[in-house]
Amino acid sequence: MSGDIELDTLRLLIALVDAGSITAAARTRGISQPAASARIREFEARWQLSVVRRSPRGATLTTDGQAVVAWAREVLDSVDTMRAAMGALSQSRSANLHVAASLTLAEHLVPRWLGELHASRPACRPVLQVVNSESVAEAVRSGAVELGFVESRSLPAGLASRTVGRDRLVVVVARSHPWARRKAPLEVAELTAARWVLREAGSGTRGTFEAALGHEPRVALEATSTTALLGAVMAGVGPAVVSELSIRGELETGRLVAVPHPLDLRRPLRGVWRADQRLSAPARDLLAIALR
């Protein structure tokens, strides 16, 4: 006598009691009557018990069969409770999607993506962390978030990525700045000599500008938000480099002026995740939305 108890056979025996016959029980369980009879005989042989009494008038449970069914009801109640609890636990885990995004993406693109995700997965409750690109990459690497969105040309080792869009940085100044009347592109020497209003070190915007300029720029003011940065530019603190996604309104109203320059300030927008981990279904869906 060996082997595990077949839960399907226990359910068949309960169905026999509830339905009144092996044929009806087999129909309830979605199998044929011969298959149901064979399963019961196999159970009896394995456990050396007689659980069903067969007669021309039908099949009924023996005393041992009644005991088995009583135990089976308790066992299957526990199994069903455990299955439901595990399903709820799994659903809860998948519902909480932790995402990090750099400021430009978080302000202009990620909210729309999350809205589309909510439409297809209303039970999903994303948690969005807004930090600079360097911090996004670190959050993904540490496992604090599952999926990140950054605006950097280079990525740390251990991260997989997909390009979800393109962006371009623009050099902007206040209307009162001497560069505002400039028609010809600025010289690199002029860019190098200027004192800039920039995002903090570690931001994708700052990194893209420094890479294009070829060295660390002179800084008049650092800002961790686009609103503060643009306010400082309009106040005349200095020129800035910002995403064109962030300044369309200011350029249209003339509050800021875009200045021509020779630098290549194009950059990819990327979704990033740990290369050694498979994305959950909600994270895969969000990435697919971003890729559209």
Residues 177-235 pLDDT 10s:
999 999 999 999 999 999 999 999 999 999 999 999 998 999 999 999 889 999 999 99
Beta bridge mates, 199 = 223
Beta bridge mates, 170 = 242
Beta strands 256-258 and 195-199 are unpaired
Whether residue 53 lies inside any domain: the answer is yes
Co-location of 83 and 43 in the same domain: yes
Secondary structure in 3-state letters for 235-264: CCCCCEEEECCCCHHHHHHCCEEECCCCCC
Enter the tokens of residue 45.
């042989």
Q: What is the mean pLDDT of the chain?
A: 91
Dihedral through CA 198, CA 99, CA 112, CA 256, nearest 10?
Answer: 0
Whether residue 1 lies inside any domain: the answer is no
Domain stops at, among 92, 114, 143: 92
The length of the chain is 292
Co-location of 184 and 46 in the same domain: no
What percent of the chain is predicted at pLDDT more than 90? 75
Helices 281-291 & 110-120, crossing angle to 10 degrees?
Answer: 130
Q: What does the pLDDT average to over 16-23?
A: 89
Domain stops at, among 53, 75, 92: 92
Co-location of 69 and 114 in the same domain: no
Backbone angles phi and psi of 125, in degrees to 5: -120, 85
Q: How many CB atoms lie within 10 A of CB 99?
A: 26
Contact in structure between 200 and 209 (CB atoms under 8 Å): no
231 vs 5: which has the higher pLDDT: 231
State how far the Cα of 22 lies from the Cα of 72, in Å rounded to an integer: 17
Domain stops at, among 29, 63, 92: 92
Q: What does the pLDDT average to over 152-174?
A: 93
Co-location of 209 and 260 in the same domain: yes
Co-location of 156 and 78 in the same domain: no
**Residue-range definition of the domain harbouring residue 107:** 98-164+268-291
Start-to-end Cα distance in the chain: 59
Co-location of 250 and 285 in the same domain: no
State how far the Cα of 17 lies from the Cα of 25, in Å rounded to an integer: 8
Whether residue 2 lies inside any domain: the answer is no
Does the model's pTM come out above 0.75?
no
Co-location of 124 and 72 in the same domain: no
pLDDT in tens, 60-116: 899 998 999 999 999 998 888 888 777 666 655 555 899 999 999 999 999 999 999
Query: CATH number of the domain that 63 lies in?
Result: 1.10.10.10
Contact in structure between 125 and 263 (CB atoms under 8 Å): no
14: CB partners within 8 A, 6+ apart: 69, 72, 73, 76
The confidence score (pLDDT) of residue 94 equals 52
Whether residue 252 lies inside any domain: the answer is yes
Distance of CA 114 to the CA centre of its chain: 10
The confidence score (pLDDT) of residue 177 equals 96
Co-location of 30 and 115 in the same domain: no
Co-location of 231 and 111 in the same domain: no
Co-location of 275 and 160 in the same domain: yes
Enter the tokens of residue 266.
């194009």
- DSSP E strand boundaries for the chain: 52-55, 58-61, 98-101, 127-130, 147-150, 159-174, 195-199, 218-223, 240-243, 256-258, 266-274
pLDDT in tens, 104-139: 999 999 999 999 999 999 989 899 999 999 999 999
- For the chain, what is the domain count? 3
Co-location of 203 and 59 in the same domain: no
Q: Is the pLDDT of residue 46 over 80?
A: yes
Co-location of 147 and 181 in the same domain: no
Query: CATH number of the domain that 107 lies in?
Result: 3.40.190.10
